[in-house]
Amino acid sequence: MRDELTPLLERAAVADVLILGSPFYFHTETGEMRSFMERLLFPYLAYTPERTSLFPRNIQTAFIYTMNAPEEEMPVVHQDSSVAASRGIMAHIFGSCEALLSSETYQFDDYSKYVTTRWDPEVKARRRREVFPEDCRRAYELGIRLAEAAG
């Protein structure tokens, strides 16, 4: 298939590092990210007993996820399984995959417009000011570390 996504997939094929980012909606990556992953991964999938990859080399890969829920809730709603599954297929195709999670993110600019009695908007805003910058720093450092490892 050749379309507007083809040039991006071609660039990904020659990259030394590939980092994908997505919010978690309904316990997994967005539908757009899943569709992108299918286009990215299927060309390199071999249906062999050895579970080989057709990608010609190993590269560093990672996911960066944002999510509204606290990280400790992930196992309760099986989000940890979703992260493990996505990491697993990326590692299978490309040789490795890490995941960085930014949890309890500030989801709305104005919480009064939504039914969100589960969360305190002030706590969310404080976390956005105090924790989210640290998550961004960790994401930046992840990128540097993977780029340095790729040489």
Average pLDDT over all residues of the chain? 94
For the chain, list the domains and their CATH numbers: 6-150 (3.40.50.360)
- pLDDT tens track for 53-66: 999 999 999 999 99
- Rounded Cα gap, residues 125 and 107, in angstroms: 9
Per this entry, what is the length of the chain? 151
pTM score over 0.75: yes
